[in-house]
A = this chain, B = another copy of it.
Amino acid sequence: MNSTPLPKALTPGQAASRAGLTVSALHFYEREGLISSWRTSGNQRRYDRAVLRRLGVIKTAQNLGIPLAEIRDKLSALHPEDPPSRDEWAEVASGWREDLSERIAKLTRLRDALDGCIGCGCLSASKCPLNNPNDRAAQRGTGACYVEDGGVAREDAPA
C-alpha cells in the first residue's frame, strides 16, 4: 500500500508550481517559519505533500489581507506539525471570517459614503462625510478621521 502513484515528497520546483508560488517565496516562508521541509542526502529540500495545504491556507489568508506573522502564529497554534483537526481549523477560520466580515463592512460603508458623494459633488461641499473639508472634525480629538474604524459620517451627535 505504499506504492501509490503519488510521490511522497515534492521538490521545491514542484511545490512552487503546484502552489502557484516561486521557489524563492517558498524559501522565504521557510525562513519565516511558515512551512518546513527536510533535506535529501544532497542537501536539497523536499516537501511533504501536506505543505500544499499549508500553502493554500497561507495564500488564502493573504488574500484576506492577513499578515504573514499572524498567519504563522495561527498556523503554529494549530498544530506543531501535520493536519489540523477540523475543530482547530474551524476556530482559526472563524477568526479570519470575522476579520473578513469587518473588512467587508468597512468597505461597504466607504462605498456608501462614496455613493453619496458622487451624487452631491460633495468634495467641494461643506458636509462631505468622506472628507470633512470644513474643519468641524478638528473638535473631535485628533484628526478628522470619519472613515476609520467603526463608521462613516458620524458627524451628528457632537455632544
Contact = CB atoms under 8 A, between A and B. Distances in A.
Interface of A: 17-21, 49-50, 52-53, 56-57, 59-60, 63-64, 83-86, 89-90, 93-94, 96-97, 100-101, 103-104, 107-108, 110-111, 114-115, 117-119, 121-124, 128, 130-133, 135, 137-138, 142-145, 147-148
Contacts of A86: 121, 123-124
B18 A84 contact: no
Contact of A94 (B89, B104, B118): B118
A98 to B, nearest CB: 10
B143 A19 contact: yes
Nearest to A121: B86
A23 to B, nearest CB: 13
26 contacts: A17-B142, A19-B144, A20-B142, A20-B143, A20-B144, A49-B133, A52-B132, A52-B133, A52-B144, A56-B131, A56-B144, A57-B123, A57-B130, A60-B110, A60-B131, A60-B147, A63-B148, A83-B124, A84-B124, A89-B118, A89-B122, A93-B114, A97-B111, A97-B118, A100-B110, A100-B111
A133 B93 contact: no
Contact of A18 (B18, B118, B124, B138): B138
A71 B132 CA distance: 18
Given A20-B145, A60-B147, A97-B115, 20 more contacts: A17-B138, A17-B143, A18-B135, A18-B144, A20-B144, A53-B123, A53-B124, A56-B130, A59-B147, A63-B147, A63-B148, A83-B123, A84-B123, A89-B117, A90-B121, A93-B117, A93-B118, A93-B123, A100-B114, A104-B108
